Amino acid sequence: MDEVSKLELISLIIQHSIDGSNIMEMMFKIIPSYELLKKYLDLMQENDLITYHKFDKTFFATSKGLDFLYVYNDLNEMIENCNKLHYS
């Protein structure tokens, strides 16, 4: 797995939770370590970025999580544009 930042991991988890995702799907696509993934999921639930539905054992992004993702993506785009101007 390539090195990614903590914020990038959070954004990836939110992205995969938009339509619902379970732990196994996230382990396969984002973080292969159960312990590390669980740590992030707990933190994100505490901060209301995702919610867990016990019935179908699925995580979903909350409106706060979607707001975070929107801002994160916008900032990344601005940084990329600045880097293009700076290095061109």
Please provide the size of the chain in residues: 88
H/E run at residue 50:
strand 50-53
What is the pLDDT tens value at each position of the chain, 88 positions in all? Answer: 456 799 999 999 999 999 999 999 999 999 999 999 999 999 999 999 999 999 999 999 999 999 999 999 999 999 888 887 777 6
**Which element (helix H / strand E) includes 52?**
strand 50-53
How far is residue 82 from each of residues 6, 16, 33, 51, measured CA to CA in Å? 22, 28, 34, 35
Domains annotated on the chain, with CATH:
6-87 (1.10.10.10)
Q: How far apart are CA 37 and CA 35, in angstroms?
A: 6
